[in-house]
Chains A and B, each alone.
Chain A
Amino acid sequence: MGNVNVTVNGIEVSVPDNYTAMLAARQAGVEIPSLCFLKDVNEIGACRVCVVEADIKGVPMRNLPASCILQVAEGMNIRTNTAKVRKAVKTNVELILANHNRECLTCKRNQNCELQSLCDELGIDQVRFQGEKRKPTIDNLSHSIIRDASKCILCGRCISTCRDVQGIGVLDFTHRGFQTEVAPAFDFSMRDVDCVYCGQCIEACPVAALTERQYIDEVFEAIEDPEKFVVVQTAPAVRASLGEEFGMPVGTRVTGKMVAALRRLGFDKVFDTNFSADLTILEEGTELLNRVTTGGVLPMITSCSPGWIRFCEMKYPEFLPNLSTCKSPQQMFGAILKTYYAQKMGIDPKKIVSVSVMPCTSKKTEANRPEMEVDGLRDVDYSLTTRELGDMIKRARIRFANLPDETADSILGEYTGAGVIFGATGGVMEAALRTVADILTGKDLQDIEYSAVRGLDGVKEASVVLPIDGKETEIKVAIAHGTANAAKVLDAVKAGQKDYHFIEVMACPGGCVHGGGQSIVSAQVRLDVNPKANRAAALYAEDEACVKRKSHDNEEVQALYKDFLGKPNSHLSHKLLHTHYAPRKVYECQA
């Protein structure tokens, strides 16, 4: 693989020979517009917005090829700004607009839409073609994801993400030609198909064809209701992405401002899911050691990712016994809130409204799972995404950048570094290892950074040698992120090729930092910036800055056990903090 010399608009550049014309143009300082292009995920040259004029060996191509696909060659001459190209691109955008719901002012992606930006940048000033439009199907029946066909531009980014990145394939192009629509099989609602609600499709969508179901109004209403005591918890990954909603660079850590904003929005208490992340480690660590020492079902698999839980229930029900019975930190928090906290503070739990801010769209459905309640009270009443919190702050006209740094309330707000790193792939595993290692060795180990579980490889393996019942035992662990990778690990375990004690699975590639509820980063920005890496770095930085970095050192968690739960896996812990699963059928007629 060497370099070739190409010319872009008269500027000569030397680029690797596997570059496309689009990448070569970037190097020459020209950003060719695109819509369907999503690096490494969807490179199909369908929208025809990135077309250019190109000469190959001095001979002009008779058509305008898609620069996102055209591979460079020595001496290629690329022209992106001729009248011919500008006219062609404008016409293609016009054609997309002619079949598009152009009500931008009332659209969720107003100001953050790749099509809208293109119209602005390319100077689209008319839509000459009026005629038939796509049938305006809106599917808003699930708790998590809304599909609006009137806004779809048939770019295929969601399809490629679901099928190739996640290995599931809930959506595909259906019918043909002008009748083409992106939809689930048989036009089933997203509620009734094998969707895990990971929301990666939302992150991939350049427009508002796929969005999350929002509960902002309900939460504002609860806050205003003087009868209600509204409590909010924030997941670790939120603090690494919220700033992007206000134009900050991808992965800016805004923990302090996030807390300050929540207070100003009027929440009665601002807590932190990291608290219950620490709690989860104590419950799950204990459960793991139990299984290891008493011959329980191994490998044990984490259960904090609701997308992963759904995936397991639908595709790998044989592994349900392997799942930890622990609820996710979100749900544990809610259960503790309406019992321990309510009792301790003398608040009527029926008046508590439990709100969470999550990087996740699947948490909305998780919060609505029938079993996620204690004595008739829902653990979590409303689960919001990072984006929804950003919206609320904007609606309240709070100037985010000017906020001071504040800290979460007690007694459910303390957290250790172990809790923070839950948001990155490998974080749960690392947090668990930190605690399990101390428990087994009986020491306060200082070497607590397990680099083997960090990073963006799809499947990671590690092993730690620890004493169990006096014997040095090699504890073998695996980490998978993205459901396709989860399938790989499970298939290997099923086939007897691999033998682990503990597996961490996150449904989203990169872990929660790239959850379906995080700030949406455009395809163009993604050419230079990797949100997964940047946001994870923010969490690891926060971990490093923490004084306490092991879950069992969390004093508020210690108090919880001492004053209320007793010990991990106690009877009360089981009632409040553990759950069960069942195989899940999909594509069933509701008739």
Chain B
Amino acid sequence: MPEDPEVNQNRFGTGVGNNTQRRLGNVNDQSKCACSCGCITAEDPRFAELKSYIDSLNQEQGITMPVLQEAQRSFGYLPLEVQKFISENTGVPLAEIYGVATFYSQFAIEPKGRHHIGVCMGTACYVKGSQKVLDKLVEELKVKVGCTTSDGKFTLEATRCLGCCGLAPCIMIDDDVFGKLDDVSRIPDILGKYE
């Protein structure tokens, strides 16, 4: 089921997909892991490296930012497991770590894929059926809007007008624009071009 695209128009990249899913509707029932790829286990050697880094800061004050930055550099993003680890090893409450991580645009709660797909939801494209394009992509990639595929290849987002209205409906993958996608059967081939 595709999400309401308006909801996901957030430029921060701070786990909008994950959190807004929980915020839609009434009951906030916990749910899926923030770790979309499901592959960061407790034995991951990067945890030991992160611990060394934390220890090297020698209990300096205010190390949350540098630790998060190092963790993001190492893991690529900051899922629950990583933030829990940081909380346990710095004594800072998890809520505070998460509060800091979601404040700054550069911290990603969700992993970003190698390729970014932006589906234009501007008026021209919308009128020409960009919703169908979005639906097809959700189906092909088996991913929700705003999220990343489990193999880390694609991140799918709805975007504002790309400025290529003559080619409506269009999408942008990285820097490439693909227009006239009213025939959605072309989509699998386009996706196939990307590693």
Contacts and interface: CB of A to CB of B under 8 A. Distances in A.
Interface of A: 135-141, 149, 163, 168-176, 179, 181, 184-189, 191-194, 587, 589-591
B28 A175 contact: no
B27 to A, nearest CB: 7
B74 to A, nearest CB: 20
B84 interface: yes
6 contacts: A136-B26, A170-B93, A186-B98, A186-B109, A188-B30, A191-B30
A187 B22 contact: yes
B150 to A, nearest CB: 14
Contacts of A187: 19, 22-23, 28
Interface residues of B, number: 31
A373 B57 CA distance: 49
A311 to B, nearest CB: 13
B140 interface: no
The 3 closest A-B pairs by CB, nearest first: A169-B93, A172-B99, A185-B98
Nearest to B83: A185
Contacts of A176: 12, 102-103
B96 A172 contact: yes
Nearest to B32: A591
A138 B27 contact: yes
Contacts of B141: none
A555 to B, nearest CB: 48
B102 A189 contact: no
A181 B14 CA distance: 14
Contacts of A184: 95
Contacts of B14: 175
Contacts of A194: 93-94
B97 interface: yes
Contact of A171 (B30, B80, B83, B95): B95
Contacts of A590: 29-31
Given A187-B23, A587-B80, A138 B28 contact: yes
A390 B29 CA distance: 31
A141 to B, nearest CB: 6
Given A187-B22, A587-B94, 17 more contacts: A135-B23, A138-B28, A141-B28, A163-B96, A172-B96, A173-B99, A174-B98, A175-B19, A185-B80, A185-B83, A185-B94, A186-B34, A186-B80, A187-B19, A187-B28, A191-B30, A192-B30
B30 A589 contact: yes
B102 A140 contact: no
A171 B98 CA distance: 10
Among B28, B83, B96, B109, residue most surrounded by chain A Cβ atoms (within 10 Å) = B28
B36 to A, nearest CB: 11
Nearest to B10: A179
Contacts of B103: 173-176
Nearest to B24: A135
Nearest to B98: A185
Nearest to A188: B30
A138 B94 CA distance: 21
Interface string B12-25: 10100011101110
A170 B95 contact: yes
A480 to B, nearest CB: 19
B33 interface: yes
A139 B28 contact: yes
Contacts of B109: 186
B29 A189 contact: yes
Contacts of B95: 163, 169-172, 184-185, 193
Contacts of A171: 95
A309 B68 CA distance: 32
Nearest to A195: B95
A591 B31 CA distance: 5
A168 B93 CA distance: 7
Given A186-B98, A187-B19, A139 B27 contact: yes
Nearest to A589: B33
Nearest to A132: B6
Among B10, B27, B102, residue most surrounded by chain A Cβ atoms (within 10 Å) = B102
A160 to B, nearest CB: 12
A137 B22 contact: yes
B145 to A, nearest CB: 16
B30 A169 contact: no
A202 to B, nearest CB: 17
Contacts of B94: 169, 185, 193-194, 587
B32 A589 contact: yes
A155 to B, nearest CB: 16
Contacts of B19: 175, 186-187
Nearest to B26: A138
Given A169-B95, A175-B14, A175-B103, A135 B20 contact: yes
Nearest to A179: B10
A139 B22 CA distance: 10
A149 B96 CA distance: 18
A330 B80 CA distance: 37
Nearest to A586: B94
Among B12, B31, B33, B97, residue most surrounded by chain A Cβ atoms (within 10 Å) = B31
B128 to A, nearest CB: 27
Given A137-B22, A141-B29, A587 B84 contact: yes
Among A135, A149, A187, residue most surrounded by chain B Cβ atoms (within 10 Å) = A187
Interface string B151-172: 0000000000000000000000
A176 B97 CA distance: 14
Contacts of A163: 93, 95-96
Given A139-B27, A591-B33, A174 B80 contact: no
A137 B23 contact: yes
Interface string B82-102: 011000000001111111001
Nearest to A149: B23
Contacts of B31: 589-591
A171 B134 CA distance: 35
B21 to A, nearest CB: 9
Contacts of B18: 186
A201 to B, nearest CB: 12
A188 B10 CA distance: 21
Nearest to A181: B23
B26 to A, nearest CB: 5
Nearest to A190: B28
Among B30, B94, B99, B102, residue most surrounded by chain A Cβ atoms (within 10 Å) = B30
A145 to B, nearest CB: 13
Given A163-B93, A188-B30, A589-B33, A175 B84 contact: no
